[in-house]
Structures are given as C-alpha cells and as structure tokens.
Amino acid sequence: MGALLIMILAFVGYLVMYRLYGKFIGNKIFALNDNNKVPAVEFEDGVDFVPTKKEVIFGHHFASIAGTGPIVGPAIAVIWGWMPALIWVFVGSIVMGAAHDFGALIISMRNQGKSVSEFASKYISNRTKYFFFFIVFLELWIIVAIFGLVIAVIFKMYPASVLPVWLEIPIAMYLGYLVYNKGANLLSWSIVAVVVMYITVVIGAYVPITLPGMFGLSSVAIWSIILLIYAYIASVLPVTKLLQPRDYINSHELVIAMALLVLGVLFASFGGNLHIVAPAVNSSPAAAPPLWPFLFITIACGAISGFHALVSSGTSAKQVRKESDSLFVGYGAMLLEGTLATLVIIATTAGIGMGLKVGGETFVGVQAWTHHYASWAAAKGLGSKVGAFVVGSANMLTALGIPKAIGIAIMGVFVASFAGTTLDTATRIQRYIVTEMFPRTFKNKYVSTGFVVVVAMALIFSSGASGKGALALWPLFGATNQILAALALIVGTIYLKGRVKWGWLVMALPAAFMLVVTFWAAVANQINFGAKNNILLQIINIIIIVSMIWIAVEGLIKFFQTSMKSNPDLQEDVG
C-alpha cells in the first residue's frame, strides 16, 4: 500500500468516526448538557480555573497530550512493520484513546475539575485513591524529569531549534497581553505571532546555539536545570499569561507542520520519490521484545495513553467553558494526535527511504530503513527515535522546495515546542496532585511546585553529573502509563453504569483489553528486571502490579454493586 493512499484512508476514517462514534458517545452515552455548571465557571479564579474558547483550550490540550509521545512511540514501533503500528494507531485512537480522554475530561468537569485519582475515590473506594496517587505520582515524576532530558537532547541534536523555542516564550506572553489585557483579536494576532515565530525558525537554522558543558556538568545536564527552572515559573503563572497563548501558537504550528507533511507526502508521491520501504510485518526484529504485548505499550500517545487522563482531569477540565465543548477538546484532540502518529509512521517507513546520511555515507530505499532499524538496540534510543522522524519529514519537505536544513529546523522546533508544553503541563498537574493529597502541607502553589521541581531534579541527577538519572526509571514508564489508562477506563465504566443501558461498554471493553496487555507487559518486565538483577525496578514494578490488581478487583466489585439506585451522580440528580 502506498504512503499517499494510507494517508488519505486514515484521514477520512478519522473524520467519519468523529462524526459517528464521537458524537454518539458525547450525546447518547455521556448526555452532554450545557445547562450543567462547569468548574471553569463555578470556580473561576483567573489562574487555574479560566473559561476558555474551545479553539484555544483545544490547542493547549493537544499540545499537552502530544509532546513527543506520538512521535517517539510510532518511530520505534515500526520496527515490527508499518501495518501493526498503523492498525493500532487508527483503531486504538478511535475506540480507546479518544473515548478515554473525553471520558476523563467530562467526568472531571462533573466533579469540580478534580483529578482522576480524586474522583476514583468517589466511584470506587477511598483506598483506591492512594493506589492511584502512587501510580500517578510515579508517572508524572518520570515525565517531568525525562521531558527535561528530552528537550535537552533535542537542543543538543538540533541546535537550530534552540533560538526559536526560547523566543516563542516572549512572543506568546506578548500575545497573551494583547488578547487578555488589550482586547486584541485572538485569531489575527496569533497568526502574526506564528509568522514571527517561523521567522525565528529560519534565523535559528543559520544561527544554531550550542551550550558547552561547564562546572563539571554536561550540556544536557545544564539544559535540564534551565528547563526545570522554566517549568517552575511557567507552572505558577496564570494560564492566560503563558500556557494558553503559547499553546494556541503551538496549535497553529501543528497545523502548519502537518500541512507541510501532507503536501510533502503528496508531492513526493506524485514525483515518484516516496515509497514504503519498511516491511508490512516484521515479526521478529533482532533483539526486540515480542510484538504482543509490547506494541501496545510502545505506542501510547497516538493510540491511548494514561497521561492524557491526567491532562484531561488536570488542566483542561478547569478551562472548558461548557460541556458541549468537551467533545471537540477531548475526543477531537485525540483523533488529531492519531493523525499526527499516522504521519510519523509514513515519515519513518517511507520518508526515511529518500535518504539517510550516516557519517560520510548516504543510504536510500530499503537500505536506509534497514540500516536504521537493524536491531532493537539501534532503533530504541531517544536520538534514534526523534532522528528517524525529523530526517524522514525533512526529506519529504524537500519535495516542496524547502531546503533540508530548514526542514530539519522546522521539525526540530516542532518536537521541542510540544515537549516543552508537556513539561510545564506535567509540572502543573503534579502540583495539583500533591495539593489534593496533602492540602495542608502543599496549599501554597509556590511550595508545592517547588517540591515537584526539586524531586524531579533529584531524579535527574541521581546518576551524577550526566543528568540522565531519569533513564533509570524509564523502563517502567510504558507499562505504568498504560496501566493508568486501563484504571481510568475502569473509573469511567463505573461512572456510566446505570446511566444508559449497556452504555458502560464503551469504557469497559477498552478497559479489559488494556488490563490484559499491560498486565502481560508488566509481568514480562518483572521477569526481565529479575534477569538483570535490577532490585529497584523489581520493587517498584511489583508495587505497580499490586496497585493495578487491587484497583481492578475493587473496581469489579464496585461495578456489580452499582445500579441506577446506587450511582452517586444519579442520586444527586434525583435528589
């Protein structure tokens, strides 16, 4: 199957399923009602709770859930072939991921904008709240630490991205000032902001910035420190100052980047230069784990990701201004992420074949893909994942007459910008989590955010001056993230029980599937950690497995106990 045909079929499929399945879930299952008072209105404070136009909050939500997730996951999963990756992204995003994200968002909006761990206490039991807290805290701890490292590595790999990524901050803040303080038109001024930002991208391509190591620290470690300081500041500012305007710019950046990629696929295909060079199925790559179940935890963002439930019930639920907007934000953003993941699959299975330069040698066609994906070890590194996408995308952009250096800068900035959004959104969400769990100790947002940044810094430097300590816990992330998705779906299932006959199946079936594959992967990880005698990962992984079993069992018990009469929300509605 050709790259162009794959792209067209996938895009049409996403549009059709949003109209059919998405609206069915929103209107028939969750019964969206604009008469319900939402947290953004009820608790409006100008800092975290801010009623926001759906176009703006869509940009923030998408930028937060995306990050590098729908890039790095598919970029390594294609080692098993393009077909398994594509099927999982397409089916997973429509049936599982979008329902999961939207469900977490609307349930949080109907529970005062509280996090998934907090409303798990209401729908299952108070005990589950603490198991949820452990899994959520662990995941966000890893994300905050690892995304500081991710952006630092991108800055080192693509120094052309440094200038535009940092200049986007004052551009966004000025846009926020014009819109919220001066009443300027959001659309017109955001377009101006994006134009200015792309001017900085071109400048950055010719004025790369490289940060040298100093004070015994590597450049990656120094960037990590700077990025966490930025995350602290960004996470305590009112959302209207930086978060919303920057992510609105990012949403425009996404549209432009994806439009360029779509045109690149179109022109390169018609020019006869773009062909799928990866095998449809590669069931046993060298030294790779088995496709089942690891495909389903390797591709998370782009199909279904537990982190999305944290964004939905963290920042987004506090900004959606009415219930009907939640479908576009929650369900729509996930399908757009699936669209991006589809383009990543094309870039890494077709675009890379247009030319891969390694040292002084250039590989093309099947040789390019085979060289890059020669083994699991060769393909799984962060630089390798990002590099496959950036190089493949830049190759396709050359079909539009865009110089490869500019194309690499555009894609490097695109990846780093979205990773930056995930970094400060995760920091803000972690602040919400620790405040909910320990309200007396962490009532002050500066104290709670400081705690989040300090513990992330401790993890980053746990391995020494290299600043790569977060990699020690990274092997836990995939399974932990997908376990969180399964548990959020369990909460959604119980929430829906008794509301619409059989309506709970839209959450229960994905929950059952995710429980099976993630439990399978977690046990496989435990065996692997044991073989390597990694005591730390074994202990943490066992706690994760026990937490998952506990919540699943309590959820099952609660499911059979819940009826129309015992559903807490319906009792409130009747009362």
- Rounded CA-CA distance 183/171 in Å is 17
* First CA to last CA distance, the chain: 57
**Whether residue 6 has pLDDT greater than 60:** yes
- pLDDT-derived band of residue 569, with 50, 70 and 90 as boundaries? low
Compute how many other C-beta atoms are within 10 angstroms of the C-beta atom of residue 310: 30
Please identify which residue in the block is written with the tokens 């038109």. 185
- For residue 494, the one-letter residue type is I
Full DSSP string of 92-111: IIIIIIHHHHHHHHHHHHTT
What average pLDDT does this structure show over 491-515?
Answer: 92
User: Would you give the distance in Å from CA 540 to the centre of its chain?
Assistant: 23
DSSP class of 52 = B
Q: What is the pLDDT of residues 259-300, one digit of tens each?
A: 999 999 999 999 888 999 999 999 888 888 899 999 999 999
Q: What is the pLDDT of residues 339-357, one digit of tens each?
A: 999 999 999 999 999 988 8
Q: What is the pLDDT of residues 82-93, one digit of tens each?
A: 999 999 999 999
- The CATH classification number of 3-357+366-574 equals 1.10.4160
49-53, 312-316, 387-391: segment of lowest average pLDDT: 387-391
65-69, 315-319, 483-487, 560-564: segment of lowest average pLDDT: 560-564
Q: Where are the alpha helices (DSSP H) in 276-324?
A: 291-298, 306-312
**Whether residue 575 has pLDDT greater than 70:** no
Q: What is the pLDDT of residues 516-528, one digit of tens each?
A: 999 999 999 999 9
DSSP class of 125 = -
Report the predicted TM-score, pTM, of the whole model to 2 decimal places: 0.90
2: tokens are 């050709």
What pLDDT is recorded for position 31?
Answer: 95
Return the half-sphere exposure (C-beta side, CA atoms, 13 A cut-off) of residue 24.
11
Q: For the chain, what is the mean pLDDT?
A: 89
What average pLDDT does this structure show over 213-219?
Answer: 84
**Whether residue 476 has pLDDT greater than 90:** no
What pLDDT is recorded for position 566?
Answer: 61
Per-domain boundaries in the chain: 3-357+366-574
Is 96 in contact with 510 (CB distance < 8 Å)? yes
What pLDDT is recorded for position 118?
Answer: 83
Give the SS3 label for residue 61: helix
- pLDDT-derived band of residue 381, with 50, 70 and 90 as boundaries? low
**Whether residue 574 has pLDDT greater than 60:** no
Q: Which of 348, 296, 330, 195 is nearest to 519 (CA)?
A: 296
What pLDDT is recorded for position 573?
Answer: 40
325: tokens are 């907007």
Give the SS3 label for residue 350: coil
- pLDDT-derived band of residue 380, with 50, 70 and 90 as boundaries? low
Q: Does the CA dihedral 120-124-127-131 come out positive or negative?
A: negative
Q: Which of 10, 9, 560, 59 is nearest to 320 (CA)?
A: 59
What average pLDDT does this structure show over 207-226?
Answer: 88
What average pLDDT does this structure show over 546-568?
Answer: 82
- Rounded CA-CA distance 261/255 in Å is 10
- Rounded CA-CA distance 39/32 in Å is 15
Is 353 in contact with 18 (CB distance < 8 Å)? no
Quick one: the chain helix, strand, coil %, rounded to 5?
A: 75, 0, 25
Compute how many other C-beta atoms are within 10 angstroms of the C-beta atom of residue 19: 10
413: tokens are 């900035």
What average pLDDT does this structure show over 494-498?
Answer: 89
**Whether residue 212 has pLDDT greater than 60:** yes
> For residues 255-271, b (16+ Cβ closer than 10 Å) or e, as one string?
eebeebbbebbbbbbee
Q: Which of 340, 313, 316 is nearest to 10 (CA)?
A: 340
87: tokens are 């099927």
Report the share of the chain in percent with pLDDT over 90: 55
CA triplet 305, 435, 569: central angle to 5 degrees? 65
What average pLDDT does this structure show over 200-224?
Answer: 88
What pLDDT is recorded for position 154?
Answer: 86
Is 250 in contact with 55 (CB distance < 8 Å)? no
What pLDDT is recorded for position 23?
Answer: 95
